[in-house]
Structure 1
Amino acid sequence: MESTSVTGTFEIAYTPAGSWSGADDPASRMTFTKTYAGPLAGTSSGEMLTAGRPGDGSAGYVALERFTGTLAGRHGSCVLQHSGTMLAGRDSLLVVVTPGSGSGDLAGIAGTLALTMEDGVHRYRFDYALPLPAYSA
Structure 2
Amino acid sequence: MSTETTGRFMPTGWDESVIEDIDGEGETKNGTYYPSRGVTAAKVTFQYTGDVEGTGATTYLFAYRDSKAGHADILGYERFTGSIGGRTGSCVFRHTGAYEDGAVSGHVEVLPGLGTDELADLTGSADVSMAGPPPEGGYEFTLKS
TM-score, length basis structure 2: 0.75
Residue of structure 2 equivalent to 1:97: 110
Residue of structure 1 equivalent to 2:45: 33
Residue of structure 2 equivalent to 1:116: 129
What pairs up with 1:66-85 in 2 under 5 angstroms?
A: 66-85=79-98
Contact kept? 2:124, 2:143, Cα under 8 Å: yes
Q: How many residue pairs align between the two structures?
A: 126
Equivalent position amino acid for 2:12 in 1: A
Check if 1:125 corresponds to 2:142: yes
Contact kept? 1:69, 1:77, Cα under 8 Å: yes
Q: 5+ residue gaps in structure 2?
A: 23-36
Distance in 2 between residues matched to 1:117 and 1:124, nearest whole Å = 11
Equivalent position amino acid for 2:11 in 1: I
**Structure 1 residue 114, shift from structure 2 partner:** 2.0
TM-score, length basis structure 1: 0.79
**For residues 19 and 117 of structure 1, do their structure 2 counterparts lie closer, same or farther at Cα, with a shift above 3 Å needed?**
closer
Contact kept? 2:103, 2:129, Cα under 8 Å: no
**For residues 7 and 28 of structure 1, do their structure 2 counterparts lie closer, same or farther at Cα, with a shift above 3 Å needed?**
same
